[in-house]
Amino acid sequence: MYYMSIKKQIRKFIPECVINNLWHLPKAVLIAILFSFPGRKLTVIGVCGTKGKTSTAYLITKILNYAKYKTALFSTAAIYLDNKETPNHLKLTTASALFLHKFITKAIKTNTKYLVLEVSSHALKQYRTWGIPISYVVLTNLMSDHLEYHHTTADYQDTHLVLLNNVNLKQAILNGDDPNLDRYTKLNFPKTIYHKNDSLDQKLRTINLPLLGEFNFYNALAASHLALKLNINFETITKALENINNIPGRLEFVQNQPFKVIVDYAHSVESLKTVLPVVKKVAERKIIVVFGACGDRDPNQRPKMGEVLSAYADIIIITNDDPFTENPENIANMVLKGISTSNKSNLVQVFKILDRQVAIEKALSLAEPNDIVLILGKGAEQWQVFKDKKIPWDDRQITRQLLQKLKVESSQ
């Protein structure tokens, strides 16, 4: 991980705009030319926004597949190509320009019609999707995010205009209930604005959507509006949605136990405020949370995360997420500070176990029938990254192994 430290040092002296315009842009242009702009042979759908990108992209892909369209997907949680789904091992929401063009070339060889791309703000700033004509855009919402990179909320939000102002745009699907999108809904480009309780939402409420949380209705609503624009009928849309068991790493249930185990990607204040009330609503007894804040991110958010955790959890185990170049102990202590100063701190049992596997094992060992063990922060990610190393990691796989170990021990 020495390379990562060098990058961080370089960025202290060279402005991001210089790096983006004099390195990322020329590189992206060259790659697109060398690969002869393969994205032009597909219909490309870009899904962007602060929250819900991964789930919405996954739902769109499932609907398109159910409608018998050959579809490829690149998202934070999953990669789908030639009818095969694999985890995203790159630890990137949107891959590099080189990877994307190779990926698109492979997709074309399998007669793929649609490409669904989860598009991050980092990718837009770094021109990773340059030369890939994104015809349809879904913008789920915009909050204040990634300020360690964008520095201002305005820059973060304005970055998404790249997709909405692109000449290839045929239709944008915008969340009309997000006040941060008000000014986008007034711009002159082809668009559909969806709302909670709009006619399509009311129809979707009548189906059996097997996903937890009100936010998943929003994701399903966005995906459904997009599908209608692609001339997929409502019956096909609903059948596809009803047949989705889970979204990888998004409120994903892991193995049946006397207690429930759920893995989720929630790693910000906003996502914790969204996920924890949903879990609280279905909890029969205690909620045991395993959580670690990510390194090299806005440190001011960490105490706030602790406050949110203490408002909903009965037992909290603070551990590592991806410390990156930061000291894991310092990160954990910032989260613990928020827990200790919260109004409910005296009602919560708290542990600090930096080894994430040991932390998960502790949570499982404390669980009793009808409890919920909630493992947050990494979702379906396949790596854990430290300052000096990067190790293979999957919360779901680790949890299954530990559950098996506990089962064997209890039978002896």
Q: What is the per-residue pLDDT across 23-76, written as a single tens digit (0 to 9) for each?
A: 999 999 999 999 999 999 999 999 999 999 999 999 999 999 999 999 999 999
Q: Which of 212, 242, 272 is the last residue of a domain?
A: 242
Q: Indicate if 389 and 325 belong to the same structural domain.
A: yes
Asked if the model's pLDDT at residue 347 lies above 60, the reply is yes
Q: Indicate if 368 and 270 belong to the same structural domain.
A: yes
Q: Indicate if 175 and 308 belong to the same structural domain.
A: no
Q: What is the per-residue pLDDT across 125-158, written as a single tens digit (0 to 9) for each?
A: 999 999 999 999 999 999 866 666 667 888 888 8
Q: Which of 190, 220, 242 is the last residue of a domain?
A: 242
Q: Which residues have C-beta within 8 Å of that of residue 124, sequence separation ≥ 6?
A: 48, 159, 160, 162, 163
Q: Which residues have C-beta within 8 Å of that of residue 402, sequence separation ≥ 6?
A: 357, 360, 361, 364
What three-state secondary structure class fits 246? coil
Asked if the model's pLDDT at residue 1 lies above 70, the reply is no
**Which CATH number belongs to the domain containing residue 312 in this structure?**
3.90.190.20
Is residue 83 one of the residues assigned to a domain? yes
Rounded Cα distance, 17 and 87, in Å? 32
Nearest C-alpha neighbor of 298 from the set 159, 94, 145: 145
Is residue 6 one of the residues assigned to a domain? no
Rounded Cα distance, 325 and 313, in Å? 29
Asked if the model's pLDDT at residue 2 lies above 50, the reply is no
Q: What is the per-residue pLDDT across 378-401, written as a single tens digit (0 to 9) for each?
A: 999 999 999 999 999 999 999 999
Q: What is the per-residue pLDDT across 239-275, written as a single tens digit (0 to 9) for each?
A: 999 999 899 999 999 987 899 999 999 999 999 999 9
Is residue 1 one of the residues assigned to a domain? no
Q: How many CB atoms lie within 10 A of CB 114?
A: 22
Domain count, the chain: 2
Nearest C-alpha neighbor of 221 from the set 52, 13, 345: 52
Rounded Cα distance, 309 and 269, in Å? 9
Rounded Cα distance, 86 and 88, in Å? 7
CB 54 within 8 A of CB 74: no
Q: Indicate if 85 and 184 belong to the same structural domain.
A: yes
Is residue 2 one of the residues assigned to a domain? no
Range of the domain at 270: 252-411
Q: Which of 242, 261, 292 is the last residue of a domain?
A: 242
Least trusted range by pLDDT, from 5-9, 208-212, 239-243 = 5-9
Q: Indicate if 232 and 300 belong to the same structural domain.
A: no
CB 380 within 8 A of CB 78: yes
